[in-house]
Amino acid sequence: MTLEATSANTAPLTEENTALTETTDQGAAPATSSPAAVPAQTARLQQAVTVLNRLSSAVRSQVLGRDDVIELAIIALIADGHVLLEDFPGSGKTTLAKALGEAIVTPLQEQADDVAAAIVPFRRIQFTPDLLPSDVTGGSVFDTSTNSFHFRHGPLFAHVVLADEINRTSPKVQSAMLEAMGEKQVTVDNTTYHLDKLFFVIATQNPLDLVGTYPLPTPQLDRFLFKITMKHIERDAELDVLDTYKTRRDHSQQRIQVTRSDVLMAREVIDMEVVIARAIKTALVDISRNLRSDERVLQGNSTRSMVLLLPALQVLAALRGRSFVSAEDIETLLPRVLGHRVELAPGVADLGKVLHDCMRDPLEQLARATLQ
Amino acid sequence: MTIHNAKQDSVLNQLLPSSLRAAIIASSYWVLSLSLTSPSGSVAAFVGCLFSCYLIDGLVNRPPLRDLRLSVIAITTLLILCAGIFLSSVITSSLTVASLLSPLLTYEIGEVLQWFLFAAALTALLRILAHRTGYGRVVEILFVATAFVITLAAHRQGMIHRPFFIGDYALTRGIDPSSILMAMGCGAVLAMAGLLMMENNHRRLPYHFTVLGLLCFSLLAYVQLFGMPSPRLTDDMGLTGVARGEGSAAEQENPFRDGENDASDKEAPVAIVLFRDDYEPAGGSYYFRESAYTEFNGSMLAVTDRDDLDEDLITHFPPVRADIEEPLPLLDKRQAVRTTIGLLAPHRTPFGLDTPVAFQNTPNPNNLRFKQTYDAYSMVPLLEFPDLIGRSAGDPGWTPAQRQAYLELPDDPRYRELADTILQDLRPGYADDPYAKALAIKDYLDRNGIYSLKNEHAYAEDPAASFLFGDLTGYCMHFSFAATYMYRSIGIPARVGIGYSVPASNRAGGSSLLIQAINGHAWPEIFLDGVGWVIVDPAPGRTLVDMSVDPQNSLQQLLGDMLRDEAAFDEFISSQQDEPFPLTVLLQTLVAALLVTLLAAYTVKIYRLRAPQFADPALRYRLSYRATLDMLSALGQRRRYGESREAFARRLSTMTPSFATMTASHLYAALGPSGSVPEGIQAQPRLPPTPDWLALQSRIRAEIGSHTPWWRRVLAFLDPFAWLKTH
Q: SS3 letters for B49-101?
A: HHHHHHHHHHHCCCHHHHCCCHHHHHHHHHHHHHHHHHHHHHHHHCHHHHHHC
Q: Find the distance separating the first CA and the last CA of chain A, reported in whole Å.
A: 30
How would residue B169 be classed by pLDDT, with cut points 50, 70 and 90?
A: low
Going B343 to B345 to B349 to B355, the CA torsion angle's sign is negative
Q: Which CATH architecture has domain A274-369?
A: Orthogonal Bundle (1.10)
In terms of C-beta density within 10 A (0-12 exposed, 13-18 middle, 19 or more buried), how is residue A176 classed?
A: buried
In this model, does residue A55 exceed pLDDT 60?
A: yes
pLDDT at B168: 64
Whether residue B542 contacts residue B451, with contact meaning beta carbons closer than 8 Å, is answered with yes
**Within a 10 A sphere around the Cβ of A368, how many other Cβ atoms?**
13
Q: Rounded CA gap, B496 and A202, in Å?
A: 124
Query: pLDDT tens, A1-15?
Result: 333 333 333 333 333
Least confident of A6-10, B382-386, B557-561, B566-570: A6-10
Q: Helix, strand, or coil here: B623?
A: helix
Query: pLDDT tens, B135-167?
Result: 777 788 888 888 877 777 766 655 555 545 666
The ipTM assigned to this model is 0.79
For Cα atoms B632, B636, B638, give the angle at the middle one, nearest 5 degrees.
Answer: 65
For Cα atoms A115, A118, A119, give the angle at the middle one, nearest 5 degrees.
Answer: 95
How would residue B215 be classed by pLDDT, with cut points 50, 70 and 90?
A: confident
Do B670 and A361 lie within an 8 Å CB cutoff? no
Whether residue B671 contacts residue B634, with contact meaning beta carbons closer than 8 Å, is answered with no
**Residue B189: what residue type?**
V
Of A41-45, A259-263, B679-683, which has the strongest mean pLDDT? Answer: A259-263
Backbone phi and psi for residue B685, each to the nearest 5 degrees, phi listed first: -70, 120
Do B671 and A360 lie within an 8 Å CB cutoff? no
Q: Rounded CA gap, A59 and A98, in Å?
A: 9
Q: Rounded CA gap, B345 and B238, in Å?
A: 5
Beta strands B334-343; B372-381: pairing state: antiparallel
Backbone phi and psi for residue A194, each to the nearest 5 degrees, phi listed first: -85, 140
Q: Rounded CA gap, B408 and A40, in Å?
A: 127
B608-613 contacts, C-beta under 8 A, 24 or more apart = B608/B723, B612/B693, B612/B694, B612/B697, B613/B694
pLDDT at B562: 81
In terms of C-beta density within 10 A (0-12 exposed, 13-18 middle, 19 or more buried), how is residue A135 classed?
A: middle
Contacts of A367 in chain B (CB under 8 A): 639, 643-645, 727
Minimal-distance CA residue of chain A relative to B672: A324
Q: Rounded CA gap, B532 and B391, in Å?
A: 11
CB pairs under 8 A between A and B: 95
Q: Rounded CA gap, B458 and B67, in Å?
A: 79
Please enumerate in sequence order all residues whose Cβ is within 8 A of that of A200, keeping only pairs 6 or more positions apart, or say none.
A76, A77, A82, A100, A159, A160, A161
Report the CATH fold assignment for A41-272: Rossmann fold (3.40.50)
The H or E element spanning position B296 is strand B295-296
Do A38 and B665 lie within an 8 Å CB cutoff? yes
pLDDT at B78: 92
Please enumerate in sequence order all residues whose Cβ is within 8 A of that of B671, keeping only pairs 6 or more positions apart, or say none.
A275, A277, A279, A280, A324, A325, A326, A370
Whether B678 and chain A come into contact, CB under 8 Å, resolves to: yes
Domain spans of chain B? 9-226, 266-568, 584-671+688-725
Query: pLDDT tens, B307-348?
Result: 788 888 887 777 678 888 777 777 788 888 899 998 888 887
Considering only the beta carbons, identify the residue of A363, A368, A370 that sits closest to B671: A370
**Residue B6: what residue type?**
A
Q: What's the mean pLDDT in A110-128?
A: 71
Whether A43 and chain B come into contact, CB under 8 Å, resolves to: yes
In this model, does residue B593 exceed pLDDT 90?
A: yes
CA B216 to chain centre: 32
pLDDT at B257: 67
Interfacial A residues in 273-332 facing B (CB < 8 Å): 273, 275, 277, 279-280, 322-328, 331
Q: Rounded CA gap, B626 and B611, in Å?
A: 10
Do A364 and B641 lie within an 8 Å CB cutoff? yes
Whether residue A85 contacts residue A95, with contact meaning beta carbons closer than 8 Å, is answered with no
Q: What's the mean pLDDT in A154-178?
A: 87
Task: Compute CA distances A9 → A56, A201, A232, B104, B549, whole Å.
Answer: 17, 25, 19, 76, 92
Minimal-distance CA residue of chain B relative to A37: B661
Q: From the CA of A367, how many Å to the nearest CA of chain B?
A: 6
Give me the DSSP letters along B232-279: PP---S-SS-----TTGGGSPP-S--SS---GGGTT-EEEEEEESS--
In this model, does residue B683 exceed pLDDT 70?
A: no
pLDDT at A18: 38
Assessment of whether the complete model's pTM goes beyond 0.80:
no
Query: pLDDT tens, B85-116?
Result: 999 888 888 888 878 888 888 888 899 999 99
Q: Rounded CA gap, A38 and A26, in Å?
A: 18
Q: SS3 letters for B125-145?
A: HHHHHHHHCCCHHHHHHHHHH
pLDDT at B171: 59
Whether A8 and chain B come into contact, CB under 8 Å, resolves to: no
How would residue A284 be classed by pLDDT, with cut points 50, 70 and 90?
A: very high
pLDDT at B199: 62
Whether A197 and chain B come into contact, CB under 8 Å, resolves to: no
Q: What is the mean pLDDT of chain A?
A: 80
Whether residue B468 contacts residue B482, with contact meaning beta carbons closer than 8 Å, is answered with yes
Q: What share of chain A is helix, strand, coil (3-state, %, to 5)?
A: 55, 15, 30
Q: From the CA of B650, how many Å to the nearest CA of chain A?
A: 11
Q: Rounded CA gap, B107 and B683, in Å?
A: 91
Q: Rounded CA gap, B115 and B108, in Å?
A: 10
Whether B641 and chain A come into contact, CB under 8 Å, resolves to: yes
Q: Rounded CA gap, B492 and A251, in Å?
A: 151
Q: From the CA of B618, how many Å to the nearest CA of chain A?
A: 13
Considering only the beta carbons, identify the residue of A44, A361, A367 that sits closest to B684: A44
Do A42 and B684 lie within an 8 Å CB cutoff? yes
For Cα atoms B139, B141, B143, give the angle at the middle one, nearest 5 degrees.
Answer: 70
The H or E element spanning position B451 is strand B450-451
Whether B661 and chain A come into contact, CB under 8 Å, resolves to: yes
Beta strands B301-302; B512-516: pairing state: unpaired
pLDDT at A363: 92
Q: Rounded CA gap, B397 and B420, in Å?
A: 27
User: What is the largest distance, in Å, between two alpha-carbon atoms of chain A?
Assistant: 73
Whether residue B179 contacts residue B217, with contact meaning beta carbons closer than 8 Å, is answered with no
**Residue B168: what residue type?**
D
Please enumerate in sequence order all residues whose Cβ is within 8 A of that of B278, keeping only pairs 6 or more positions apart, or say none.
none
Domain spans of chain A? 41-272, 274-369
User: What are the beta bridge partners of residue B295?
Assistant: B302
Query: pLDDT tens, A325-357?
Result: 999 999 999 988 888 888 888 888 888 899 999
Q: Where are the alpha helices (DSSP H) in B615-674?
A: 620-634, 645-651, 658-671
Query: pLDDT tens, A220-249?
Result: 788 889 988 877 888 888 888 888 888 777
A4-8 contacts, C-beta under 8 A, 24 or more apart = A5/A335, A6/A68, A6/A72, A6/A332, A6/A335, A6/A336, A7/A67, A7/A68
Per-residue b or e along B517-534, where b marks 16 or more CB atoms closer than 10 Å to that residue's CB: bbbbbbbbbbbbbebbbb
